[in-house]
Amino acid sequence: MIGRARRGSRLGVGESRAAIIALGIAAWVVGMLWIFPVGWTLLTSFKTEQDASAQTLHNGLTFARYSDVSHSTTGTLSLSAAFTNSLVVVVVSTVIVMLLALPAAYALAIHPVPKWRDVLFFFISTKFLPIVASIFPIYVYAEKWNLIGTRTILIVLYIAINLPLAIWMMRSFFVEVPRELIEASEIDGTSLFNQLRSVILPIAAPGIAATALLCVIFAWNEYFYAIQLNFAGASTMPQWVIGNVSTRGNFLAKLSAASIIACLPVVLAGWAAQKRMIRGLSLGAIK
């Protein structure tokens, strides 16, 4: 926040107007190239299957593929079912992650437990076991407890996937809260709840938002657990997208439409929150 508002517009020391314009153009070129695959997919989603397979545009553009993939036959995975499942799983798991991570971060940052470094390492180390390895024991127990094909098993697993990152990030945001403010609030005898509310959260808020967004992104896009544990039951969006890959016949335009639909919520969320993410990260993911 230090001089941030002025940063973009001032000429850097020694930079000429021409250099600025050249860099601007370079940024545009880079941006266009980088987004090209997505843009191309978007275009394909409006074509007919014939045009899509041949990369031509003889039959014009249409929304028909979108309605094709949104229709479903009774008994097969529908867009609304997959969307609902994804939404519930992502929201519930992210909320629980934040509810668990906030106090944990408090215990690692504000009044750290002894050995907090080891605790942090433990959390990160849980990400070292490839999830493909733990899938069989998890499957066995999920089967025993009748959790296969439920949202519950995915919620539990997504919490386990995101919690380490959330704790890490939240801890570094909490560490940014100036020591003096903490001490001052404690001398005043504020309750823990108020201390959180008036001192810690306002400073860490962008970081909290950034963390929550990352959890949402990873949970929404998760594919492996979803497809291995949730066939038959509470299938999620990645599964719905893959279902549009047909082994026989042309499917490229439909797949493109399905991809756009599936990715749209998180993309829009990311677009809306990007500034907050940068601010959150700049405030101190680094301590």
Partner 1 sequence: MKVLVGILVMGLIAVASLAATAIGSTKAKTISVAIVANGQMQDIAKLTPSLFTKKSGIKVKYTILDEGKLRQVTTRDVGSGGKAFDVVMIGPYEAPQFGVAGLLKDLMPMAKSDQAYNYNDLIPAVRNALSAKGHLYAAPFYGESSFLMYRKDILATKGVKMPLHPTWQQVAAAARKIKTSSMAGICLRGKPGWGDLGAAFTTVLNTFGGTWWSAKPNGQPDKAQVDQPAFKAALDFYAKLVQDAGEKDAANSSFNECLTQYQAGKVAMWYDATVAAGTLEASDSPVKGKNGYAFAPVNKTKSSGWLWSWALAIPKSSPDPSDAWKYIAFATGKQYLRAAGPLVKGGWASIPPGTRVSTYQIPQYKKAAKAFAAITLAAMKAAPITNPGTTKRPGLPGVQYVGIPQFQDVGNRCTQLFSRVIAGSAKASDALSQCQSIASKAIK
Partner 2 sequence: MNTAADVTVRPTAKGQVGDPFSSPWRRRLPLLPALLFMILVTQLPFLVSIYYSLTNLKDKTQSLIPEPTKFVGIENYRAIFNDPFFRQAMWTSVQMTVFAVVLSVFFGTLFAILLDRRFFGQGVIRTLLITPFLLMPVVAALIWKQQMFSSLFGILDKVLNFLGFSSVAFISDHPLASIVTVLVWQWTPFMMLIMLAGLQSQPSDILEAAGVDGATPLGIFRQLTLPHLRRYLELGALLGSIYIVQAFDAIDVMTGGGPGSTNVPYFVYEESIGGGFRYGSASAYAIVVVIFSIIIATLALRLLSGLLKDEERA
Site for partner 1 in 89-118 (CB under 8 A): none
- Of 53, 152, 221, 282, the residue at the interface with partner 1 (CB under 8 A) is 53
CB 261 within 8 A of CB 79: yes
- Cβ atoms of residues 194 and 243 within 8 Å: no
Q: Contact between 191 and partner 1 (CB under 8 A)?
A: no
**75 binding partner (options partner 1, partner 2, none; Cβ < 5 to 8 Å by kind):** partner 1
Cα torsion through 252, 257, 260, 263, rounded to 10: -90
x-marked contacts with partner 2 along 1-30 as a string, rule CB under 8 A = -xxx-xxxx--xxxx----xx-xx-xxx-x
18 contact, one of partner 2, partner 1, none, CB 5-8 Å limit per kind:
none
Residues 6+ apart with CB under 8 A from 233: 148, 149, 150
Per CB under 8 A, 141 contacts partner 1? no
Residue 126 interacts with partner 2 (CB under 8 A): yes or no: yes
Among 25, 29, 35, 245, binds partner 1 (CB under 8 A): 245
What is the DSSP track for 58-91? SS---SHHHHHHH---TTS--HHHHHHHHHHHHH
Burial (0-12, 13-18, 19+ Cβ within 10 Å), 91: middle
Binding mask 184-223 for partner 2 (x = CB under 8 A): -xxx-xxxxx-x---------------------x--xx-x
> What is the distance between the alpha carbons of residues 82 and 79, in angstroms, rounded to a whole number?
5
Distance CA 105, CA 210 (A): 15
Candidates 59-67, 72-80, 144-152, 279-287: pick the segment binding partner 2 (CB under 8 A): 279-287
| x/- track of binding to partner 1 for residues 203-242 (CB under 8 A) | ------------------------xx--xxx-x------x
C-alpha–C-alpha distance, residues 240 and 260, integer Å:
12
Q: Which of 83, 116, 139, 168 binds partner 1 (CB under 8 A)?
A: 139
Site for partner 2 in 69-108 (CB under 8 A): 100-101, 103-104, 106-108
134 belongs to the binding site for partner 1 (CB under 8 A): no
Cβ-based neighbours of 121, under 8 Å, separated by 6 or more: none
Binding site for partner 1 (CB under 8 A): 53-54, 73-77, 139-140, 143, 146, 148-149, 227-228, 231-233, 235, 242-243, 245-250
